[in-house]
Amino acid sequence: MQQIARSVALAFNNLPRPHRVMLGSLTVLTLAVAVWRPYIYHPESAPIVKTIELEKNEVRSLLPEASEPIDQAAPEAEDEAIPQDELDEKTAGEAGVHEYVVSTGDTLSSVLNQYGIDMGEISQLAAVDKDLRNLKIGQQISWTLTPEGELQRLTWEMSRRETRTYDRQANGGFKMSSEIAQGDWVNSVMKGTVGGSFVASAKDAGLNSAEISAVIKAMQWQMDFRKLKKGDEFSVLMSREMLDGKREQSQLLGVRLRSDGKDYYAIRAEDGKFYDRNGSGLAKGFLRFPTSRQFRVSSNFNPRRLNPVTGRVAPHKGVDFAMPQGTPVLAVGDGEVVMAKRSGAAGYYVAIRHGRTYTTRYMHLKKLLVKPGQKVKRGDRIALSGNTGRSTGPHLHYEIWINQQAVNPLTAKLPRTEGLTGSDRRDYLAQANEVIPQLRFD
C-alpha cells in the first residue's frame, strides 16, 4: 500500500505545479471521504486503514489518484518538493465544508452532481433562487452535507458585495438568506493637467471610466471637454466605497476645472444634481417652441409615418410648424452650433448641441444667422424661417434629439431651469464651502 502511495505521489509530482495545486484544493475533502469511508466502514480492512494513515504531506500526494494513472515514470529529483502552503490553508477551513470555484462550462447541477448531490435537491435549490442558474466563472460556492449525505447548506459568493446562503428547512426545501457587505466610503482628491485628451489625463490622475463619465456629465452645461486645451487643470473630489481593497462604487462630490485661466465648478447637492458655487442650476431650461409665439402644427412627429406615394416608412423625426417666411427662429437652449449650412432635402438648416445629451435641428430655413462653432444662448435668433429644400410650403421643421434618438418635441422631457432655494440652498452652500477648498490644483 505504501508502494502505491509513493507511486501516486510521484505521479502527482510530475504534474505542473498550478495543475497540482488546483486538483488538490478542489478535491481534497471529497476524495478523503471517497478513499477512506469504505475502509472505515469495513472493520476487516483495519490493517489497510492503518497503512494509509500517512503524514499530512503524504495524504496530499494521494489525491490525484482518481484522475491519474499510478504507474508513471519516476520524476526529476528537483521536482519532488511539494508545495506546502496553499493546500494546507485550503484544508485548514471549517471541517466538512466543500469549496468549489466555478470554471468554464460549470452549472450548479454539473458541479453539485459530480459531488454526488442528487438532482432532486439541486432543483429544490434552483427553485428558491433562479439566479443560481447563472453561476459565473471565478465565483466560489461551498456547501456542507448532513450526516446522511444530503445537502445541509450551500453558500454562494456571488460578488464581492453579496453572499447568498441556502439552508435546508425541516419541512424540506431550502431557505435563502443574503448578506450584503458594506464597504468604507473614502474621499479622495484627484488632480491633473490636461495633456492629450481629458480622458487620458483623468485616467493618469487615477479616475476610472465611470468616474470620468460622471465628471463630464456634471460639467456638460459649462464645458465641452473636447475643447479643453493642453495645460488646462482639473481637480476632482470623489467619494469611493472600498470593499476588500477594491473600488466598489464612486460618487462624484465636486469638480473644478480651470480652462483659459477661468474656473468652473460643479458641486453635488443632496438631490444628486450638480450646481455651480452659488447654488444655481447648471442645466439651463429649454424653450418648448423655437419661436417667440406658437404656430400651428402642420405635421406631427411620427417615427412610423408612411410616405403616401411610395408606401414605405419614412419617419417624420420632428414637428412642422406652419409660419410665414422670415419668422425669427430661436435657439431653444444654451449650446453650440454644430451645423449651419444648406443640405439637400433639409434646405438651409442649423443643428445645435446642448450639453452632452441634447441636440436640436431646425430646417427649411430662408437665412442662417449663426456659424458652426458659435456659442448661443437660449432665445438667441439663429435663422429666419423659409421654404428651402424638400418643402411644400413655408414652415419650420424642428427636431429634438436626446442621446442620438429623435423624440417628439411637443412632449419630450426637457431640462428645466432649476436653482436651489431656501434651506436647500443654505445646505448646499455649506456643503460647497467644505468641498471647494479641497479642489486645489497645487
Beta carbon nearer to Zn ion, 2 or 392: 392
Beta carbon nearer to Zn ion, 10 or 406: 406
Min separation Cβ 286 and Zn ion, Å: 19
| Mask for 349-388, x = binds Zn ion (CB under 5 A) | ----------------------------------------
Total of residues contacting Zn ion (CB under 5 A): 2
Give the contacts of 320 (CB within 8 A, at least 6 positions apart): 297, 298, 299, 395, 396, 397, 398
Give the contacts of 398 (CB within 8 A, at least 6 positions apart): 290, 318, 319, 320, 321, 360, 361, 362, 363, 409
Which residue of this chain has its Cβ atom nearest to Zn ion in the complex? 397
Q: For residue 161, what are the β-bridge partners?
A: none
Min separation Cβ 331 and Zn ion, Å: 19
Of the candidate spans 23-31, 70-78, 237-245, 395-403, the one that interacts with Zn ion by CB under 5 A turns out to be 395-403
Name residue 217's amino acid.
Answer: K
Of the candidate spans 30-38, 98-106, 114-122, 312-320, the one that interacts with Zn ion by CB under 5 A turns out to be 312-320
Of the candidate spans 208-216, 342-350, 394-402, 418-426, the one that interacts with Zn ion by CB under 5 A turns out to be 394-402
The residue among 305, 295, 288, 248 whose CA lies nearest residue 395 is 295
Min separation Cβ 186 and Zn ion, Å: 53
Min separation Cβ 421 and Zn ion, Å: 40
Beta carbon nearer to Zn ion, 121 or 320: 320
Does the footprint of Zn ion cover residue 121 (CB under 5 A)?
no
Structure-block grid coordinates of residue 172: 424540506
Of 52, 397, 420, 432, the one binding Zn ion (CB under 5 A) is 397
Of 320, 334, 336, 380, the one binding Zn ion (CB under 5 A) is 320
The residue among 225, 233, 223 whose CA lies nearest residue 193 is 233
Q: What is the 3-state secondary structure (H, E, C) of 49-78?
A: HHHHCCCHHHHHHHHHHHCCCCCCCCCCHH
Place of cell 462604487: 249
Instruction: Say if CB 111 and CB 121 are below 8 A apart.
Output: no
Beta carbon nearer to Zn ion, 320 or 336: 320
Cα 438 to Cα 5, 153, 187, 202, 326: the distances in Å are 66, 49, 10, 17, 52
Beta carbon nearer to Zn ion, 235 or 385: 385
Give the contacts of 64 (CB within 8 A, at least 6 positions apart): 8, 11, 12, 15, 20, 23, 24
Beta carbon nearer to Zn ion, 258 or 316: 316
List interacting residues with Zn ion (CB under 5 A). Answer: 320, 397
